[in-house]
Amino acid sequence: MSYQVLARKWRPKNFHELVGQDHVRRALVSALDNDRLHHAYLFTGTRGVGKTTIARIIAKCLNCETGVTSRPCGECSSCREIDEGRFVDLIEVDAASRTKVEDTRELLDNVQYAPSRGRYKVYLIDEVHMLSTHSFNALLKTLEEPPPHVKFLLATTDPQKLPVTVLSRCLQFNLKNMPPERVVEHLSNVLTQEQIPFEDAALWQLGRAADGSMRDALSLTDQAIAYGQGHIDAAQVSEMLGLVDQRHVGALIDHLISRDAKALLSEVTRLSEQAADFETILSDMALYLHRMAVAQLLPDAVDNAQGDREQVLTQAARLTAEDVQLYYQIAIKSQEDLPLAPDARTGFEMALIRMVAFAPQGVPSEGGSPLSSQAMPMQGQPVSEGAPENDAPQSGQPDSTKKKELTDLSLTEPPQSAPVPQPVAQGVYGIPDDPQNIALNPDTPAPEPQLVKFTPPAGGSPKPTDQTTPPVSEASADEGRFGDTQPQEAGSRVQSARASLGSGLRTVQFPSASADKISQASKRSAIPSQETGADHLRLHNSVNTDPGSTPEKTPATGNDIPPWEVVPVLSEPNPIAEPNPIAEPNPIAEPSPVAEPNPIAQEHPSPPADQPTQTPAPPTPEYQDMMPEPMSEAVKQAPALRDTALPETAEVEITPLVGPCPEQLNTNQDWLQAFAHLPLKGLDRSLAKNAALLSREGTHLQFALKAVTENFLTPERQASWQASIQKLFNEPLTIEISAFSTDLDTPEDYEAALKQRRQQQAEALFARDPVIQALQQNFDAQVLSESVEPLI
């Protein structure tokens, strides 16, 4: 007895032996058991997934001598003849070899006759998409209303080529590809019953190489048995399939983890000596990295397909999740770039170099130890020498916790018993620098001091010289805000939190005012800040005239500024203010004396008539140069045509974008109409698009270029332009550029004018539509002209 290949020997004989395709099996078994059979079935799917097998099982279920059932006996004469391919009432047709309409007519001539042996006459048409159009048309009527004793079973790998008239007459089932897990399970069962020794890693290689086809998997298994002389070994299967041993992939991943560039390139050299397929190696590395990512997320879900589960778990523990994702992404993208590389090895080495070079730990060295990176030190690492202390994060406390702590502290209301010192801010949104211009009203509650981000002078923070006078510092301000209970601890907490936000935030230094200036301020009226609109912030600072008064919390508004935000400081000239001798920050902040009530100062006093109105200073010329030019919202109009005219069309039509090509190229009008038909692309087409035809003498054409420099015109572009004209008109025409400016129309102008006319025509047709007019009349609708565009 001759040898029978595994793919034919292990073909399923009934639905319960069918591997996979549970969605198809469930529907067909239910239809057979409940006598709800359709007259035409269509099975689609890739090769080797069971289309013909399912069709033959249906034929056995319909013609089994025990009756119509989902469990054919397999022992009666009908079942045996169908298995052996000699059942007279099962007509199998290869549509690829019988595509003519005469073959289809001959096939349908016997449809009207009753079956000879079985209960149904079954027509199995394989690769039905290969039939011709006339064959489909001849089949439609019979396929729609066949005799009651006829069933049609169609199978195809390309359902997109079937007419919709055929698809609508069939009950369609789409068979899925076989996953590697299902293929390995079936191969393990087959080889166990065949008593052939095998390795699980070899079966996984065969399952992935089958690419979803069970028949391909069984055929490869036959080849592997012959290659391994009666047993299936993983190494021999790798050699047979041209794959790379997984030990090489694990070694590459291990060198990536240790960041040893020299060992990586040495491993590539060894793979190159074995004539390895580097595209396959990249794919295997991506699969390996995917298993590592699964191991980091769910270790129990890692399979032992290659017998290296412990190695995958160990290597996954040595890498961060970010590194695994980075390596996986580079491996996937490098497969796209590999065909563009000078050779496969170069592309593969560049992929490995990118994996090592883009890792966040720094640039690797020859021995594998990473060099120092230029990035900022990570959490837990020591701060490099020379870095400011305020920039270093506090030990054991992340930045997010410090930011939250700062926010909570800034929202804490001050106690009612603690006095709040009121510093004087200079030049903030219209507030004059001179303290004489500050209203001193004892009846007005003192607002909460605002924290202003301020960059200290280059000389560093000034140091106090008089120890008897307490300086106005952030610590003293925080003491008033957070209460007198442990003021130093609260101040240190705020200072620590602000230091963690970066080196840009420093302690606020307010200018101090002398006693004589304060006394002068009580004799003058306050000049209010000019209104600048609802979108601007106004900062009002006043001096508390009553030391025993209780500060009140200002109501929270949308303009509250957190301590870490930047408050812009604008200096505006005050024409009535005296020169401020304390413009520079004074390290010594003097206490504000108690001033007498000023009956003239009000909340919003009007300036006297004899005083000029304060106006903001105009922007400097340097700032004016940096401002962008205002953009015009006017629609750009197409240039008017001078020597040509657009084609005439009816009022209810839209001018075609591409008109008919002229037979001759004699005038500029012919050139404008023929340009759309030229086989030019890219810069060559842009060159011809800005040209106008001046004249023609025999077969010689003279052109003038418009808005094109001579450097842009190269001999190659001119030769490509000339060749396209010769190909279009089938004449040995030659071209010459005789001028670089012209008043004639160019294809650029012609196309712009044509598009403008088409847009106007589309808007006119849209406006004349009765539905649009009804919407405008009934609902007062408006048409957005910019949303209307011609589609033809």
Q: Is the pLDDT of residue 426 over 60?
A: no
Lowest mean per-residue pLDDT among 179-183, 305-309, 589-593, 724-728: 589-593
Which tokens belong to 263? 């060992």
pLDDT bracket for residue 389 (50, 70, 90) = very low
Which tokens belong to 635? 């629609």
Closest CA to 39 of 115, 128, 148, 134: 148
Q: How far apart are CA 409 and CA 424, in angstroms?
A: 23
For 631, left (φ over 0), alpha (ψ -120 to 50), or beta? beta
Q: How far apart are CA 97 and CA 647, in angstroms?
A: 52
Contact call for residues 448 and 421 (beta carbons, < 8 A):
no
pLDDT in tens, 687-709: 888 899 999 999 999 999 886 66
Lowest mean per-residue pLDDT among 45-49, 159-163, 416-420, 698-702: 416-420
- Average pLDDT over the chain, rounded to an integer: 74
Assigned CATH topology for domain 246-357: Zinc Finger, Delta Prime; domain 3 (1.20.272)
- pLDDT at residue number 45: 92
Lowest mean per-residue pLDDT among 46-55, 104-113, 162-171: 104-113
Mean pLDDT on 85-99: 89
Neighbours of 302 (CB within 10 A): 19
Mean pLDDT on 264-274: 88
The residue behind tokens 């099982």 is: 57
Question: What is the rounded (10 degree) CA torsion for 321, 326, 332, 335?
Answer: -140
Lowest mean per-residue pLDDT among 135-139, 551-555, 758-762: 551-555
Q: Exposure of 471 by Cβ count < 10 A (0-12 exposed, 13-18 middle, 19+ buried)?
A: buried
Contacts of 496 (CB under 8 A, 6+ apart): 394, 402
Radius of gyration of the chain (CA): 43
Q: Is the pLDDT of residue 523 over 50?
A: yes
**Range 181-241: architecture per CATH:** Orthogonal Bundle (1.10)
Q: How far apart are CA 562 and CA 568, in angstroms?
A: 13
The residue behind tokens 């590539």 is: 268
- pLDDT at residue number 519: 56
- pLDDT at residue number 615: 54
Which tokens belong to 403? 């930011």
* Residue percentage of the chain with pLDDT more than 90: 28
pLDDT bracket for residue 253 (50, 70, 90) = very high
Lowest mean per-residue pLDDT among 47-61, 431-445, 667-681: 431-445
Q: Is the pLDDT of residue 455 over 50?
A: no
- pLDDT at residue number 711: 67
Q: How far apart are CA 38 and CA 379, in angstroms?
A: 69
Cα dist. 46→158, 283, 627 in Å?
Answer: 8, 23, 63
DSSP secondary structure string for all residues of 313-353: HHHHHHS-HHHHHHHHHHHHHHHHHGGGSSSHHHHHHHHHH
Right CATH number for 6-176 from 3.30.499.10, 3.40.50.300, 3.40.50.150, 3.40.50.10490?
3.40.50.300
Which tokens belong to 425? 């801010």
Residue with the larger pLDDT of the pair 644 and 675: 675
Which tokens belong to 161? 């080529």
Q: How far apart are CA 394 and CA 642, in angstroms?
A: 75
First to last CA, the chain: 69
Closest CA to 45 of 122, 168, 180, 158: 158
Within its chain, how far is the Cα of 462 from the centroid? 51
Closest CA to 410 of 490, 509, 488: 490
Residue with the larger pLDDT of the pair 45 and 792: 45
Mean pLDDT on 726-735: 90
* Residue percentage of the chain with pLDDT more than 70: 64
Beta strands in 9-133 (DSSP E): 40-44, 90-94, 121-126
Lowest mean per-residue pLDDT among 149-163, 219-233, 457-471: 457-471
Contact call for residues 56 and 92 (beta carbons, < 8 A):
no
pLDDT bracket for residue 618 (50, 70, 90) = low
Contacts of 320 (CB under 8 A, 6+ apart): none
Q: Do the first three CATH levels of 246-357 and 645-792 match, i.e. the same topology?
A: no
Within its chain, how far is the Cα of 124 from the centroid? 47
Q: Is the pLDDT of residue 375 over 60?
A: no
Q: How far apart are CA 538 and CA 548, in angstroms?
A: 27
pLDDT in tens, 770-783: 999 999 999 989 88
Beta strands in 297-437 (DSSP E): none
Residue with the larger pLDDT of the pair 60 and 711: 60
The residue behind tokens 């000239």 is: 573
Right CATH number for 645-792 from 3.40.50, 3.30.300, 2.40.128, 3.30.70?
3.30.300
Report DSSP state, residue 109.
T
- pLDDT at residue number 696: 92
pLDDT in tens, 645-673: 888 878 778 888 888 898 888 998 989 98
pLDDT bracket for residue 625 (50, 70, 90) = low
Residue with the larger pLDDT of the pair 561 and 712: 712
pLDDT in tens, 565-584: 554 544 444 444 444 444 44
pLDDT bracket for residue 87 (50, 70, 90) = very high
Q: How far apart are CA 162 and CA 156, in angstroms?
A: 9
Q: Is the pLDDT of residue 757 over 70?
A: yes
Residue ranges per domain, the chain? 6-176, 181-241, 246-357, 645-792
- pLDDT at residue number 402: 44
Residue with the larger pLDDT of the pair 713 and 556: 713
Alpha helices in 17-100 (DSSP H): 22-33, 51-63, 77-84
Lowest mean per-residue pLDDT among 93-102, 289-298, 304-313: 304-313
- pLDDT at residue number 165: 92
Neighbours of 618 (CB within 10 A): 8
Neighbours of 98 (CB within 10 A): 16
Which tokens belong to 692? 């106008």
User: Buried (b) or exposed (e) across 31-48, using 16+ Cβ within 10 A?
Assistant: bbeeeebebbbbbbbbeb
- pLDDT at residue number 520: 56
- pLDDT at residue number 100: 87
Neighbours of 7 (CB within 10 A): 18
792 bridge partner residues? none
H-helix or E-strand spanning residue 737: strand 734-739
Coil vs helix vs strand at 152? strand
Task: Let me know the angle formed at the C-alpha of 569 by 566 and 574, rounded to the nearest 5 degrees.
Answer: 165
Q: Is the pLDDT of residue 55 over 90?
A: yes
Which is it for strands 700-705 and 734-739: parallel, antiparallel or unpaired? parallel
Lowest mean per-residue pLDDT among 94-103, 243-252, 270-279, 457-466: 457-466
Contacts of 275 (CB under 8 A, 6+ apart): none
pLDDT bracket for residue 208 (50, 70, 90) = confident
Q: Exposure of 227 by Cβ count < 10 A (0-12 exposed, 13-18 middle, 19+ buried)?
A: middle
Which tokens belong to 269? 């050299």
Coil vs helix vs strand at 143? helix
- pLDDT at residue number 586: 46
Phi, psi (degrees; rounded to nearest 5) at 255: -70, -35
